Amino acid sequence: MRIRTKLVYLVFLVLAVIVGSIFVYFPARQKEQALAAMDDKAHSFVRITALNVAPALYFGDTEDIAEALHAAAQNDDMIQVVLKDSSDQVVASFERNPSVKPDLVEDDQTHISPDHRYFGVTSPVFVHGEQIGRLYMTFSLEKMNQSISRSRATIAGICLVILILGLVAVLGISAVITRLLRSMIEVVTSITNGDLSRRASVKSNDEVGELARLFNKMVDSLESTQVRLEGTNLALERKTHQLENEIKERKQFQIAKDVAEAASQAKSEFMANMSHELRTPMTGIIGATDLLTKTELREDQKSFIEILRDSSKTMMTLINDLLDIEKIEAGKMDLFLSEFNFRECIQLPLNLLVLGAREKGLNHICHIDPNIPDVLTGDEKRVGQILNNLIGNAVKFTSDGEIGFRVMCEAHEGAPRQGDSSVLLRFSIHDTGIGIPREKQQVIFESFTQADGSTTRKYGGTGLGLSIAKKLVELMGGRIWVESEEGKGSTFHFTAKFGIVSRTGDDTTISPETETTSKPSLSSPVADEQVARVLLAEDNPTNQRLIGHMLRSQGYEVEIVNDGKKALDMLQRQDFDVVLMDVGMPEMDGIETTGAIRIKEIGTGRHIPIIALTAHARLTDKEQCMAAGMDGFIVKPIRSDELLSTVEDILSETTVL
């Protein structure tokens, strides 16, 4: 159906509804108003007549009654008047048309006949407040009906004229709109076919003409846009060609990146495996050295043992440095934060400074800010590692003069303020050694780099210590730098942020000058004459013999298995006080074995302590062991004192529980 037809139908429907409503409403309203007016008039007329006829009815004067009814019958619309007495007997009546016998109204309400030809009203007749009769009147509605019919005919004519005029108007308007739409359709069809030269015709200045003008402007814009798009398409084609080349280059870069990442991953795995392979035999070397120091030796043998021990420590330092630099390059270097006694932490590096200075005949100066809190939060081990490296360098590169150590609160002048949650400390290590040329003062913090080649030949070293220290300092929220003059000495500074531990209640702070540490000796595992039993799960025969000898020499009873399955079988048959679990065993490793042990303990109320033995020294390795259910963690190579101390601590905690 075309839009013009739809528009005509719609307008015709709307007009028909409006005209029909007018045709129905106005005659009905006119009739309602006419009936209301006639009702008021009839009731007034019947009440007045009832008053006039009341005395005559009371005295029984028939002539006066007839005269009163005759006067009432003079109303042209009156067709019937009936007067009844109190006994409901007709006293007098008047009928204009005897053939019409309307019903008498028996109440005070208006009664309209079903054919709307007449209506009746009534009124009681009172004398001295006493009803003596009732007057009935019936009126004709003929004149009213004729008037309403004439009005209805007039309204119908008006409505017909309105309907015709509306249709004529809508036909004209729809014709104009249809012509415009046809013109626009033709233009759109041309645009669809790629021809933007045609335009819609504009023949008026009204809204329709404005629509045509706006449509033509739109076509003009489309035409100009088409021109721009053609230029843009050419530019896009060139850009697409460039992007294709870039994508090829990026794919090649991604391939190279993947290869590099795979190489880095392979390197990390290689370093982890090498760490394990190197630490395992080092356990045998260091362990055997510790055991030999406890035997009777000649003086020359003791000298050889000291050489072996020093060489082992140097080897472990080199292994640890290589692992640390690999972690730095892989972005996996992390800190283990815990509460620690600051003055105890720096005591070992200070001992290194004092002993080194005495051996070389150097003066030494140490100053520690007394406002520094005793207990801080940070990575105690890494702080010691940085200080050992810097102090070791100061001792190594200084042949005469002095070495100084100073640590101060950097963030505040004096003590940290109450409420502070952290403190920034500044460490300074001063020496009067060989110094560093200005152009080399930044290079020395790079990996495998020293001031020059002669330094390496004369003093040794890998050039890893300062690069590792730089990364650790940055992880601690600080920075490291050097002030040096060649031939006059150097001062290395670094800052680090530590958490402040708030102490409440009866906590007591121990002064570093008077602090003494005592620990109950558990050199013998015998408690109440009962020997502690240890299960050692270790696949390396050398480590089995060494660890077993370390424990048996202190009175422990030791059983040894070489894999996780045998450890589970042994725990099923015998009871043990503690398990030493190698993490890297074949078939069933220590993590899996520990998980199986903890599952079997569910519901039994038992918990056998398990200590991890591993060559993997990363924080994530320790977290993995603890998450698996282990209670302690020892990094290979295993030293006798560390092993015994850890076992004793675990057993003492178990005894307390």
DSSP-assigned states of every residue in 1-69: --HHHHHHHHHHHHHHHHHHHHHHHHHHHHHHHHHHHHHHHHHHHHHHHHHHHHHHHHHT-HHHHHHHH
Question: Closest Cα to residue 84, out of 48, 127, 132, 29?
Answer: 132
> Looking at this protein, which amino acid is placed at residue 32?
E
Are the beta carbons of 469 and 492 closer than 8 angstroms?
Answer: no
Please, which pLDDT band fits residue 596 given cuts at 50, 70 and 90? very high
> Looking at this protein, which amino acid is placed at residue 339?
E
Q: What percent of the chain has pLDDT over 90?
A: 18
Q: What is the pLDDT of residue 517?
A: 34
Task: Tell whether the model's pLDDT for residue 220 goes beyond 60.
Answer: yes
Q: What is the pLDDT of residue 56?
A: 86
Q: What is the pLDDT of residue 497?
A: 93
Please, which pLDDT band fits residue 505 given cuts at 50, 70 and 90? very low
Please give the C-alpha separations between residue 343 and each of 235, 346, 370, 465, 509, in angstroms, as whole numbers: 70, 5, 10, 23, 12
Both tokens assigned to 222? 């489309």
Please, which pLDDT band fits residue 580 given cuts at 50, 70 and 90? very high
Rounded distance between C-alpha atoms, residue 589 and residue 218, angstroms: 77
* Weakest mean pLDDT among 75-79, 274-278, 347-351, 543-547: 274-278
Q: What percent of the chain has pLDDT over 70?
A: 79
Q: What is the pLDDT of residue 506?
A: 42
Residues 299, 301, 304, 308, CA torsion sign: negative
Residues 417, 471, 337, 653, CA torsion sign: negative
* Weakest mean pLDDT among 288-292, 396-400, 502-506: 502-506
Are the beta carbons of 587 and 564 closer than 8 angstroms?
Answer: yes
Are the beta carbons of 563 and 537 closer than 8 angstroms?
Answer: yes
**Backbone conformation region of residue 162, classed left if phi is above 0, alpha if psi is from -120 to 50, else beta:** alpha
More confident of the two residues 22 and 510: 22
For residues 353-376, give the mean pLDDT: 89
Rounded distance between C-alpha atoms, residue 593 and residue 584, angstroms: 11
For residues 223-236, give the mean pLDDT: 82
Q: What is the pLDDT of residue 214?
A: 76
3-state secondary structure of 136: strand
Relative orientation angle of helices 564-573 and 590-601, to the nearest 10 degrees: 30
Are the beta carbons of 397 and 484 closer than 8 angstroms?
Answer: no
Query: Hey, which of 90-94, 290-294, 427-431 has the most confident mean pLDDT?
Result: 427-431
Collect all residues with Cβ–Cβ distance below 8 Å to 338 and sequence separation of at least 6: 377, 378, 379, 380
More confident of the two residues 56 and 315: 56
The DSSP symbol for 527 reads B
Rounded distance between C-alpha atoms, residue 189 and residue 140, angstroms: 73
Q: What is the pTM of this model?
A: 0.43
Question: Closest Cα to residue 410, out of 366, 372, 379, 365?
Answer: 372
Q: What is the pLDDT of residue 271?
A: 63
User: How open is the CA angle 289-290-293, to the nearest 5 degrees?
Assistant: 85
Collect all residues with Cβ–Cβ distance below 8 Å to 100 and sequence separation of at least 6: 79, 80, 118
For residues 188-204, give the mean pLDDT: 71
402-409/375-378 β-pairing: unpaired
Rounded distance between C-alpha atoms, residue 53 and residue 45, angstroms: 12
Please, what is the average pLDDT of the chain?
80
User: How open is the CA angle 416-334-415, to the nearest 5 degrees?
Assistant: 5
Both tokens assigned to 402? 């002095």
For residues 457-479, give the mean pLDDT: 75
Both tokens assigned to 592? 């899996």
Task: Tell whether the model's pLDDT for residue 53 goes beyond 80.
Answer: yes
